[in-house]
Homo-oligomer: A and B are copies of this chain.
Amino acid sequence: MPESTMQKIVSLAKRRGFIFQSSEIYGGLKACYDYGPLGVELKRNIKDAWWRDMVHRRDDVVGLDCSIIMHPDVWRASGHLAGFSDPLVDCRNCKERFRADKAPRAVPGSALVCREGGKRDGRKLAGTVGPAGYVCPVCGSGDLSPERQFNLMFRTSLGPVDPVQEILDALDSLVELEPSKRKERLAGIVDRTAVYLRPETAQGMFVNFLNVLNSARVKPPFGVAQCGKSYRNEITTSNLTFRTCEFEQMEMEFFVEPGTDEHWFDYWSRARFAWYQSLGMRAEKLRLRRHEKEELAHYAKACVDVEYFFPFENPEGEGEWGELEGIANRTDYDLRRHSERSRKDLSYFEAETRKRYVPYVIEPAAGADRAALAFLCDAYAEEMVEGEIRTVLRFHPRLAPIKVGVLPLVRKDGLPEKAGEIMRELMAAGINAFYDESGAVGRRYRRLDEAGTPWCVTTDAETNANGSVTVRERDSMRQTRVPMTGLAEHFRRLLGGG
């Protein structure tokens, strides 16, 4: 069977150092990934482009960087502690633990049919479909435990207390309790020092609303942007870095006067859709999808997703729309909740009009890992060149991990020394360059194509003769001669200055 596009991308990602499985020498860790030397540059470039376009190039957005561990009251107020959970069920037949809301549906009360692969451990399926109306996704059994709510936040413990030791110390008194009281008491011991890894960066902007207002001389409409890791203990992870338990968000909360929220919702939907194209993503692979009413989070008035058509494999073939970013009208829900719980007034007083209001919030929330994966997939191309398949990553130059490859045509005649001079000039200018002198120059070009390097500079006999070099462009493979002096300025101009 031929390799699918996604398999090729996964294998390129590992081979060339974009994405490795985390802790691979220990067998890996479920849905955790590391960015290799090329991947870290790609992701940095995406995050930098986001920060530049969302913060530095605007006078109405400021930045913020909050700690990942926050006070548990933040999650009580936001509703994440009570409500951010999946319903989990255990199969008593095959011991699988699965999400009830993702399980295969069946008519309650109907007799179970033993399907192919429908047994495990030699046990036979029997009985009828339970009242919940679904069966085990692995073995098809209807013999299931009750649903248990499983909170998606990662819990840990802050302070000089080891919960294991605390539970041990309380063990005898725990058992003396009635079984119905035990969980409460046990949870109480754990909760005393429990803190959570944030499931979204957004709450950091809400709880710092007053701090930003008082320190940054901003007034609505204004935004607060943050880039950082968030954590969700997802049961179902898939497709390389598309859905992982540890991921990086690029979120911005834009505070506006109620009544202007629909205008700003449209504004940001359009702006964020355009952003991906401004970095070279193909328009035909992008769409804006508006959420249906029943799909909306309870606090949201409206939401659209920017979706990319990923080359994921699925039963219907290759290709699947996946969310890159959601733009939500969160109304004044979050500020009001934190206002109530903290008893701090999180409203804004407009001096000119003497109006006081709790701002509405428009939130463009993007995933940095998903963006990196989408840009990687979008850049991937194969083409026939001189009877051979050329694999090339057509990154926008601003996103390309390596900007310039520097190659002496041969390893003699002073060409490596000239190439070394060029390397030093580019590196001093902060342009990420890569020196390569081993192998035929054609093979070196191919390797740099595969890394998505937009330009190669080659020193050759003419360099010695007249001080010119060959600059080869990745996509067209066109070669032009350029003076060796001023190469850093040349590439800086091509990269768009700054």
Which residues of A pack against B, CB within 8 Å?
14-17, 20, 22-30, 32-41, 43-44, 51-52, 55-59, 62-71, 73-74, 86, 88, 97, 148, 150-151, 154-162, 164-165, 167-168, 171-172, 174-175, 182-183, 186-187, 190, 195, 197, 204, 207-208, 210-212, 214-217, 224, 226, 229, 233, 235, 245-246, 338, 341-342, 344, 346, 423, 427-436, 492, 497-498
- Complex CA distance for A258 and B62, rounded to whole angstroms: 48
Contact A212 B17 (CB under 8 A): yes
- Which of B158, B190, B204, B423 makes the CB contact (< 8 A) with A245? B158
Contact B245 A436 (CB under 8 A): no
Q: Given contacts A216-B17, A342-B26, are A211 and B430 in contact (CB under 8 A)? A: no
- Which of B23, B57, B183 makes the CB contact (< 8 A) with A71? B23
- Which of B20, B212, B245, B346 makes the CB contact (< 8 A) with A208? B20
- Which of B37, B52, B65 makes the CB contact (< 8 A) with A39? B65
Contact B154 A210 (CB under 8 A): no
- Complex CA distance for A70 and B97, rounded to whole angstroms: 23
- Complex CA distance for A159 and B24, rounded to whole angstroms: 18
Can you pick out 14 interface pairs between chain A and chain B where the beta carbons lie within 8 Å of each other? A20-B211, A26-B341, A28-B71, A32-B69, A35-B66, A36-B208, A38-B215, A69-B245, A97-B161, A150-B162, A168-B182, A171-B171, A217-B436, A429-B497
A17 nearest CB neighbor, chain B only = B215
Q: Given contacts A36-B208, A37-B215, A429-B498, are A26 and B73 in contact (CB under 8 A)? A: yes
Contact A154 B156 (CB under 8 A): yes
Set of chain B residues within 8 Å of A56, measured between Cβ atoms: 427, 430-432
The number of times this chain is found in the oligomer is 2
- Complex CA distance for A187 and B168, rounded to whole angstroms: 10
Contact B435 A59 (CB under 8 A): yes
- Complex CA distance for A435 and B435, rounded to whole angstroms: 43
A29 nearest CB neighbor, chain B only = B71
- Which of B15, B62, B67 makes the CB contact (< 8 A) with A33? B67
- Which of B38, B41, B97, B174 makes the CB contact (< 8 A) with A171? B174
Q: Given contacts A71-B27, A171-B174, are A41 and B59 in contact (CB under 8 A)? A: no
A438 nearest CB neighbor, chain B only = B217
Contact A215 B172 (CB under 8 A): no
Set of chain B residues within 8 Å of A174, measured between Cβ atoms: 171
- Complex CA distance for A15 and B167, rounded to whole angstroms: 43
- Complex CA distance for A148 and B207, rounded to whole angstroms: 37
Q: Given contacts A17-B211, A26-B207, A168-B186, are A498 and B430 in contact (CB under 8 A)? A: yes
Contact B164 A190 (CB under 8 A): yes
A248 nearest CB neighbor, chain B only = B65
Contact A57 B187 (CB under 8 A): no
- Complex CA distance for A25 and B205, rounded to whole angstroms: 12
- Complex CA distance for A217 and B44, rounded to whole angstroms: 21
Set of chain B residues within 8 Å of A29, measured between Cβ atoms: 67, 69-71, 158, 195
Set of chain B residues within 8 Å of A233, measured between Cβ atoms: 157-160
A174 nearest CB neighbor, chain B only = B171
- Complex CA distance for A224 and B25, rounded to whole angstroms: 17
- Complex CA distance for A342 and B24, rounded to whole angstroms: 10
Q: How far is the CB of A256 from chain B (nearest CB, A)?
A: 18
Contact B40 A65 (CB under 8 A): yes
A496 nearest CB neighbor, chain B only = B430
A191 nearest CB neighbor, chain B only = B164
- Which of B25, B165, B428, B429 makes the CB contact (< 8 A) with A344? B25
Q: Given contacts A35-B65, A67-B33, A215-B14, are A157 and B154 in contact (CB under 8 A)? A: yes
- Complex CA distance for A208 and B35, rounded to whole angstroms: 10
- Which of B22, B37, B38 makes the CB contact (< 8 A) with A66? B22
A189 nearest CB neighbor, chain B only = B164
Q: How far is the CB of A246 from chain B (nearest CB, A)?
A: 5
